[in-house]
Amino acid sequence: MGDPSLRPDRIPRHVAVIMDGNGRWAQQRGRSRIEGHREGLEAVRAIVRAAGDFGVEVLTLYAFSLENWNRPQAEVTELMRLLDHYLEVELEEVMRNDIEVRVVGRLDRVPLGVRKRLEEAIERTRGGRAMKLVFALSYGGRAEIVDAARKLLRDAELGKVDPERLDEKTFAAYLYDPELPDPDLLIRTGAECRVSNFLLWQIAYSEIYVTETMWPDFREANLRDALIDYQSRERRFGLTSEQVRDGRESG
């Protein structure tokens, strides 16, 4: 991408983003929170395009948490409307760019119209090869683990899984979308250093990047900064630095 400090051979496969700070962005400008969410959509458009251009394979966007259902009704309604609007306006562009749309979360709580729009987007983009675009919607990390445990227990009752032989790989197959690799990089905009119930199982070894930039201001250059920072990290997965370097040399 013309930036000599970004190495194209070490782009994270899966980038997950906690898109936070819309409300504060608006507040700082004397505008309503809802206007902040509207501006946030521009950032979504830009980052979907940029992530694909950088060669990211999976981009997961935390669009709405289970806890967000407790926000004022007008804000919840507007957030759902905005998602609906995004899917309506961007679907053609997403298809043109060969992007596959997916969704994770407790969708039974999502308004029918939005759900239909999502189903259409998933249907029409299935098999897209450039990038997977995953919306975490009505999503909670603990809920995902509980939902996985529920399905697993049912299968155990049916004799399909043996509790004695349960391991992490078997368990992970019960998560919402087991085909996705774990995030390599977790980005949070809006400065808060917390995970807010996002992908709790999957972020076990993700590199975390928190920026003060509010989501509505986040653009390709900010994503590039995050990727450059990621590339400077040494991922050790519990090993020593020497082991990691030796492994890299021999492998």
What DSSP assignment string belongs to 57-119? SEEEEEEEESGGGGS-HHHHHHHHHHHHHHHHHHHHHHHHTTEEEEEES-GGGS-HHHHHHHH
Closest CA to 19 of 169, 135, 144: 135
Please say if 20 is a catalytic residue. yes
In the shown chain, the binding pattern of residues 123 to 142 toward Mg ion, with x for contact by CB under 5 A and - for none, equals --------------------
User: How many chain residues touch ligand IPE (CB under 6 A)?
Assistant: 19
CB-closest chain residue to ligand IPE = 23
SS3 assignment, position 158? coil
Report, in Å, the least distance between residue 206 CB and Mg ion: 20
Choose, from 53, 68, 177, 182, the residue flagged as catalytic.
Answer: 68
Q: In the stretch 208-247, what mask flags binding to ligand IPE with x, by CB under 6 A?
A: -------x--------------------------------
CB contact at 8 A, 136 and 198: yes
Rule CB under 6 A: is residue 62 a binding residue for ligand IPE? yes
20 binds Mg ion (CB under 5 A): yes
Residue 49 has phi, psi (to 5 degrees) of -65, -50
Judged by CB under 6 A, the residue of 12, 52, 105, 190 near ligand IPE is 190
First to last CA, the chain: 28
Candidate ranges 21-29, 124-132, 168-176, 240-248; the one touching ligand IPE (CB under 6 A): 21-29
Give which of Mg ion, ligand IPE, none residue 56 binds (C-beta under 5 to 8 Å, depending on kind): none
**Binding site partner of 54, from ligand IPE, Mg ion, none, Cβ cut-off 5-8 A by kind:** none
> Is 68 considered catalytic here?
yes
3, 9, 20, 84: which is the annotated catalytic residue?
Answer: 20
Backbone angles phi, psi at 170, to 5 degrees: -65, -45
Q: Nearer to ligand IPE by C-beta: 60 or 125? A: 60
User: Under a CB-based contact definition with an 8 Å cutoff, are residues 94 and 70 in contact?
Assistant: no
Nearer to Mg ion, 75 or 229 (CB): 75
Please choose, from the candidates 211, 215, 219, 205, the residue with its C-alpha nearest in 3D space to the C-alpha of residue 192.
Answer: 211
Q: Should residue 68 be labelled a site residue for ligand IPE when binding is judged by CB under 6 A? A: yes
- What's the order of all strands across the beta sheet hosting 99-104? 99-104, 131-139, 58-65, 14-18, 185-188, 207-210
Among the candidate windows 58-66, 148-156, 169-177, 236-244, which touches ligand IPE by CB under 6 A?
Answer: 58-66
| Helices 33-54 + 73-96 axis angle, to 10 | 30
Report the catalytic residues: 20, 68
Residues that bind ligand IPE (CB under 6 A): 18-24, 62-65, 67-68, 79, 190, 192, 194, 196, 215
